[in-house]
Amino acid sequence: MSRPIDALLQEQRRYPPPAEFAARANVDDPDVYRQADEDFEGFWARWAEELAWFRKWDRVLEWHPPDARWFVGGRLNASVNCVDRHLATPRKNKAAIIWEGEPGETRVVTYQELARQVNRFANVLKALGVRKGDRVTLYLPMIPELPIAMLACARIGAVHSVVFGGFSPTALAQRIADSGSRVLVTCDEYYRRGERIPQKRRADEAVQMAGGIDKVVVVRRTGANVPMTPGRDLWWDELMASADPHCPPEPMDSEDMLFMMYTSGTTGKPKGIVHTTGGYLVGVHATTKWVFDLKEEDTYWCSADIGWITGHSYIVYGPLSNGATTVMYEGSPDWPDKDRLWSMVERYAVNIFYTAPTAIRQFMQWGEAYPRRHDLSSLRLLGSVGEPINPEAWVWYHRVIGGERCPIVDTWWQTETGMILITPLPGITVTKPGSATRPFPGVKAAVLDEQGQPVPPGGGGYLAILRPWPAMLRTIWGDHQRYVDTYWSRWNRQTYYPGDGAKWDEDGYFWVLGRVDDVMNVAGHRLSTMEIESALVEHPAVAEAAVIGATHSIKGQVPVAFVILKSGWEPSEALERELKEKVAQVISPIARPDRVVFTPDLPKTRSGKIMRRLLRDIVHGSALGDVTTLRNPEVAEHLRQAFETAA
């Protein structure tokens, strides 16, 4: 492997936990790492004790690599853990969900009310013929009916498959067909940027394409008059009105499926990632409490969409299992203005806020004036997830949103891992901007080379997870061989391969650099696109940058940068030269972009990740592959034009 260029490792800033925060932190003893490491099964068993079980497990772990079974023999129900067990406590009338619609209305769902709704909908599903093990597809926006439907599935042992509400009918149809769902839950319309999105119409199209759906339950969100197919389509509110509010929970085996969630793979066919009940719940319960330092009185807000894994684990299951108050917002962060989220933080006195680097870079581009309009002093902890966070964005988040008083937890994990695996513990970890720091206690990770040997500190290689963890995926729906091949065959059957490139430093901190295909090789030097992007974002004109490696006859590859400018800046040749120079200075002349293309937008997936594959296609003039999972598919054509004009 060639010599790595260590721009990120030159990051010198250090942020120890603020003394006031540390004094009250849920974890204040660094010895937790050693203890968990010595007996990781015992560590996870102690967490499992915090949940309610119908029957305790016989064995914590059975590991026949790469197949793991956690809390073997145990029986529990996720809805009991997220709802029922809080009812006998002072949490009964506590807000479980504080919801705000885009037009501004609010709904507060207490644990007691949540219990009634979940029980009713569980009975509705039963009446529709849904049985334990059946898959139910949920195609809903961010409204309380989504977590209610998820927990109702969990209550009767049905498997939910949530499909992001912004996905196209084609993407939905593919997922319905692969899962074999017979029931679909959707809504009439919802609000986005002041517009009404015709969800039912899109669902109808998908049902047509996919086949197999017998019943469509429709939530009334806007009250629009939508076509209902007699015998197939039913209104949520009508079914709920006559449903019994008592539904006995199904005692699920620890290893029974809780849900599946589709995620894109390297091929065109999405993978149905399978999560089971006991281990998943233990993993998200523990990480929510420790990583977010969750306290009884906190108002917690993860601004992700429930349509991706972050929302499952850290809006629904983790917070509710901990009896927290979780905030949900339906709409767009710039509606009616670019301070919407900060206005919500102020009005609900949010204490913990968890979002993605792409959002943070967007806030930076909009400017400090928007957050400055609001009192953000309730915040005490900030989180980041989804992509490597550029140090400049980290420092901005810390200063402008966190008022320099809030620790930041940069959490690395995946749909497949189910729970956060690499993260600071905010009361004890000294953070470094751009590093997700260390594996959560009980988790063992490393940076390995091709042969599976640990690389020395400072070196680059592949991120690897060396031991099973409770919320790990168990298989890919309908394709166990793909599970073995994709995740457990890089080195050996016991080492999980996440597909991310990483470095570690002499303190044992991990620096995740992005997917391995986000690494390029320029004249024999390994460069991560993320390092070059970070250098570009350091320039005051740049709001966001995406870099790819373009094929080059001499150097192998050269960096090409796509750049979104902050408002007030105009594209120019002088600026292009300046940006190239910036990268040369920060990293090395080797990393100097061959071209800088100015663009108003970048292709983003629904979860906010830049789709670099598409940029590569544009640069190489090849056919644009599948763009159905893009949030903004129209951007592809714009970019192609921008690229060709700039050439």
Interacting residues toward ligand 6R9 by CB under 6 A: 263, 308-310, 385-388, 410-415, 436, 498-500, 512, 514-515, 607
State which amino acid sits at residue 113. E
Give dist(CA 269, CA 271) in Å, integer: 6
Task: Give the residue ranges of DSSP H helices in 52-95.
Answer: 78-79, 85-87
**Tokens representing residue 244 in the block:** 């019994």
> What string of DSSP letters covers 98-130?
EEE-TTS-EEEEEHHHHHHHHHHHHHHHHHTT-
The DSSP call for residue 93 is G
CB 418 within 8 Å of CB 389:
no
C-beta closer to ligand 6R9: residue 462 or 643: 462
Q: Burial, 157: exposed, middle or buried (Cβ in 10 Å; 0-12, 13-18, 19+)?
A: buried
Q: How far is the CB of 372 from ligand 6R9 (least distance, A)?
A: 27
C-beta closer to ligand 6R9: residue 387 or 617: 387
Q: How far is the CB of 500 from ligand 6R9 (least distance, A)?
A: 5
Q: Burial, 227: exposed, middle or buried (Cβ in 10 Å; 0-12, 13-18, 19+)?
A: exposed
SS3 571: coil
Q: How far is the CB of 499 from ligand 6R9 (least distance, A)?
A: 6
**C-alpha dist (Å) from residue 226 to 55, 191, 620:** 46, 15, 44
Q: How far is the CB of 605 from ligand 6R9 (least distance, A)?
A: 8
SS3 544: strand
C-beta closer to ligand 6R9: residue 109 or 436: 436
Return the beta strands (E) in 508-555 as ranges: 510-515, 519-522, 525-528, 542-552
295-308 burial: b if 16+ Cβ within 10 Å, else e: beebbbbbbbbbbb
Q: How far is the CB of 466 from ligand 6R9 (least distance, A)?
A: 17
Q: How far is the CB of 121 from ligand 6R9 (least distance, A)?
A: 27
Q: How far is the CB of 21 from ligand 6R9 (least distance, A)?
A: 20
C-beta closer to ligand 6R9: residue 514 or 593: 514
Query: Closest-CB residue for ligand 6R9?
Result: 415
First to last CA, the chain: 33
Beta bridge partners of 574: none
Give dist(CA 446, CA 464) in Å, integer: 5
CB 562 within 8 Å of CB 545:
yes
Q: How far is the CB of 513 from ligand 6R9 (least distance, A)?
A: 8
Residue 384: closest CA among 344, 442, 424: 424
Task: Give the residue ranges of DSSP H helices in 317-423.
Answer: 318-321, 340-348, 357-366, 369-372, 391-396
Q: How far is the CB of 67 from ligand 6R9 (least distance, A)?
A: 21
CB 411 within 8 Å of CB 423:
yes
Neighbours of 16 (CB within 10 A): 12
C-beta closer to ligand 6R9: residue 117 or 528: 528
C-beta closer to ligand 6R9: residue 83 or 630: 630
C-beta closer to ligand 6R9: residue 120 or 438: 438
The annotated binding site for Mg(2+) is made up of 537, 539, 542
Residue 597: closest CA among 568, 534, 556, 639: 639
Q: How far is the CB of 391 from ligand 6R9 (least distance, A)?
A: 12
Q: How far is the CB of 149 from ligand 6R9 (least distance, A)?
A: 21
State which amino acid sits at residue 270. P
The DSSP call for residue 316 is I
**Tokens representing residue 365 in the block:** 């581009």
The annotated binding site for CoA is made up of 192-195, 310
The annotated binding site is made up of 192-195, 310, 386-388, 410-415, 500, 515, 526, 537, 539, 542
Residue 250: closest CA among 140, 130, 335, 358: 130
Neighbours of 84 (CB within 10 A): 18
CB 625 within 8 Å of CB 636:
no
The annotated binding site for ATP is made up of 386-388, 410-415, 500, 515, 526
Give dist(CA 106, CA 36) in Å, integer: 42
C-beta closer to ligand 6R9: residue 454 or 499: 499
Give dist(CA 499, CA 513) in Å, integer: 11
Q: How far is the CB of 377 from ligand 6R9 (least distance, A)?
A: 26
C-beta closer to ligand 6R9: residue 179 or 254: 179
C-beta closer to ligand 6R9: residue 181 or 607: 607
C-beta closer to ligand 6R9: residue 119 or 326: 326
C-beta closer to ligand 6R9: residue 62 or 626: 626
